[in-house]
Each structure stands twice: as structure tokens, then as C-alpha cells.
């Protein structure tokens, strides 16, 4: 399952872009509101950090079809191209109409604020590249977020659609793993949960043990230094 970083924080994006195999960055108006300032320059900086090959997902702020389409075209022209810049459009009637129009013109749409499998089915039929079901928001209304992602994946498998799931709104590692087990194509994860996907206390104690045992046996020299000096 592809992993995308769900933040607009430049330090976090620099960090995970360097160390983690993320395939892109997702934003939404709430995420951007946390950064403030010149948000156009900020989004350009995100594109600069991740380069031209990674996905940048940016949400429209308009709510009517024609305005959403115009805004989507402006977003793609400003922050990348039709291949690497995904326009996030909420799952409304106007959004579905805009998605149909944009998809036919070769734009990649991430249909966002998906809270049901039926919404995902309609988004796929309209030509969305991704649908973004909100796992934690579903669980906060006593629904089963991972089960709904599984339903969507089953529908997509049955239809053979090219639309992929980009699961979103994660609060726990277990949710991310649950979604990965459904066969979903991608998940977008915030910085805190992204760190937790890799961190493990027993990994840390294991590494400390290896280092201590090595030092006890060979001192401060590294294996690389021993190899370089061998036979000298
Ligand atoms: C994707 O970018 C979604 O907008 C985002 O994951 C929603 O997450 P939240 O429910 O934590 O706000």
C-alpha cells in the first residue's frame, strides 16, 4: 500500500520525504489553515521539496461545478501538472459533476470526504483517480471505518475500476494496518502516526544491545573501518 503524508508542515515534509518512502503529500483547507501566511508560496515550496515525480493533492475551495473546474485547472497549472497534481473535490452533486468533466479532460481527481461505499462507487463511475474514505471520522460516529474501506475495495475489485482508494483520517497504526489488509492502494497518514508506523521500543533495545555487544568485543572501531584496514 502506497503511503502519502497528510500535512503541510514544511519541516515534516522535508523529514519524511528524505527518510520515508512516501509517494506524495495531501493537504486540505484545515491542514493549510494551520500554516497560514502566503499559502500559494507555501504550496509551491511543498512541490519544490517533493520534486516533480511525487503526488501533491490540493483541495478546491469552490463549491459549484464551474467554479470548482476553473479552480482545479488553476491549481494544476500553478503547482505541477496533470500527472503529479491531484485535485481534491468533495463528494457532493456539484463535485461529482466537476469530477466527470475534469477526468474526461485528463485531470486526476481525488474525491474526498467519502463516508460511504455508495459515495465511492459514484465517484469511481465519475472517473475519480482516488476516493478518500475518512476512517477516524467514521469511527467517531460509531461506524467501522476499516470495514467501509473493505466494502469499497470489494466493489472496486468486482467492477475492475481503475479508481484507487486513498484512505485518510487516521489516528492509530492499527487503523492503517487494517486498511492495508483490505488491499487499498494508498493511505494518507499524518506525521505522528507516520512516525509510529516504524517506531518500536524493542527495535530500539535490540539496536542498543547490538552496539553494546560489538563495543565490548571490538571497542570503538566500526566494521567498515576494520574492512578498510584489513590486509594493510
Ligand atoms: C485527507 O487529506 C483528509 O482530508 C484528512 O486525512 C482528514 O483527516 P482528519 O479527519 O484527521 O481531519
Which residue among 5, 25, 27, 28 has the greatest number of ligand 1 atoms within 8 angstroms of its CB, and so is best to mutate?
28
Nearest CA to ligand 1 atom 11: 169
d(CA 16, CA 24): 10
Atom of ligand 1 nearest to the CA of 30: 12
193 CB burial (10 A radius; 0-12, 13-18, 19+)? middle
Catalytic positions are 88
Q: Is 122 helix (H, G, I), strand (E, B) or coil?
A: helix
pLDDT at 79: 98
Which residue among 6, 113, 136, 140 has the greatest number of ligand 1 atoms within 8 angstroms of its CB, and so is best to mutate?
6
pLDDT at 141: 97
pLDDT along the chain (232 residues), means of 10: 98 98 98 97 98 98 98 98 98 98 98 98 98 98 98 97 98 98 98 98 98 98 97 82
Find out whether the beta carbon of 125 lies less than 6 Å from any atom of ligand 1. no
Nearest CA to ligand 1 atom 7: 169
Q: What does residue 110 show for φ and ψ, rounded to 5 degrees?
A: -105, 105
Contacts of 141 by beta carbon, 8 Å cutoff, 6+ apart: none
Instruction: Give pLDDT tens digits for 157-190.
Output: 999 999 999 999 999 999 999 999 999 999 999 9
125-128 contact pairs (CB < 8 A, 24+): 126/96, 126/97, 126/99, 126/100, 127/99, 127/100, 127/102, 127/103, 127/163, 128/89, 128/99, 128/103, 128/163
Return the C-alpha cell found at 193.
Answer: 502516526
pLDDT at 127: 98
CA of 68 to the centre of ligand 1 (A): 20
d(CA 112, CA 166): 9
Is 0.85 topped by the overall pTM?
Answer: yes
- Alpha helices (H) in the chain, listed in sequence order: 10-19, 29-33, 39-50, 65-79, 93-104, 117-126, 135-139, 145-159, 173-181, 191-198, 201-218, 223-229
pLDDT at 35: 97
pLDDT at 44: 98
231 CB burial (10 A radius; 0-12, 13-18, 19+)? exposed
Find out whether the beta carbon of 168 lies less than 6 Å from any atom of ligand 1. yes
154-173 per-residue burial string, b: 16 or more CB within 10 A, e: under 16: ebbeeeebebbbbbbbbbeb
Q: Are 9 and 172 in contact (CB under 8 A)?
A: no
Topology, domain 2-199: TIM Barrel (3.20.20)
Locate the domains of the chain by residue range.
2-199, 201-232
pLDDT at 17: 98
pLDDT at 232: 83
What's the CA angle centered on 192, arms 90 and 45, to 5 degrees?
65
DSSP state of 158: H
CA of 167 to the centre of ligand 1 (A): 9
pLDDT at 67: 98
Amino acid at each position: 500500500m502506497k503511503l502519502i503524508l497528510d500535512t503541510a508542515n514544511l519541516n515534516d515534509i522535508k523529514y519524511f520525504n528524505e527518510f520515508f518512502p512516501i509517494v506524495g503529500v495531501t493537504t486540505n483547507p484545515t491542514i493549510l489553515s494551520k500554516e497560514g501566511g502566503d499559502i500559494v508560496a507555501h504550496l509551491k515550496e511543498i512541490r519544490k521539496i517533493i520534486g516533480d515525480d511525487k503526488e501533491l493533492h490540493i483541495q478546491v475551495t469552490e463549491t459549484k461545478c464551474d467554479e470548482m473546474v476553473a479552480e482545479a485547472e488553476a491549481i494544476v497549472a500553478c503547482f505541477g501538472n496533470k500527472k503529479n497534481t491531484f485535485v481534491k473535490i468533495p463528494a457532493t452533486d456539484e463535485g461529482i459533476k466537476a469530477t466527470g468533466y475534469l477526468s474526461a479532460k485528463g485531470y486526476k481527481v481525488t474525491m474526498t470526504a467519502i463516508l460511504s461505499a455508495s459515495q465511492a462507487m459514484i465517484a469511481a463511475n465519475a472517473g475519480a483517480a482516488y476516493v478518500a474514505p475518512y476512517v477516524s471520522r467514521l469511527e467517531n460516529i460509531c461506524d467501522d471505518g476499516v470495514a467501509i474501506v473493505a466494502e469499497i475495495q470489494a466493489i472496486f475489485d468486482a467492477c475492475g475500476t481503475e479508481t484507487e482508494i486513498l484512505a485518510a483520517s487516521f489516528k492509530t497504526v492499527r487503523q492503517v494496518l487494517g486498511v492495508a489488509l483490505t488491499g487499498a492502494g494508498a493511505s494518507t497518514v499524518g506525521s505522528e502516526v507516520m512516525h509510529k508506523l516504524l517506531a518500536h521500543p524493542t527495535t530500539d533495545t535490540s539496536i542498543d544491545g547490538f552496539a553494546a555487544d560489538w563495543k565490548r568485543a571490538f571497542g570503538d572501531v566500526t566494521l567498515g573501518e576494520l574492512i578498510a584496514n584489513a590486509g594493510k
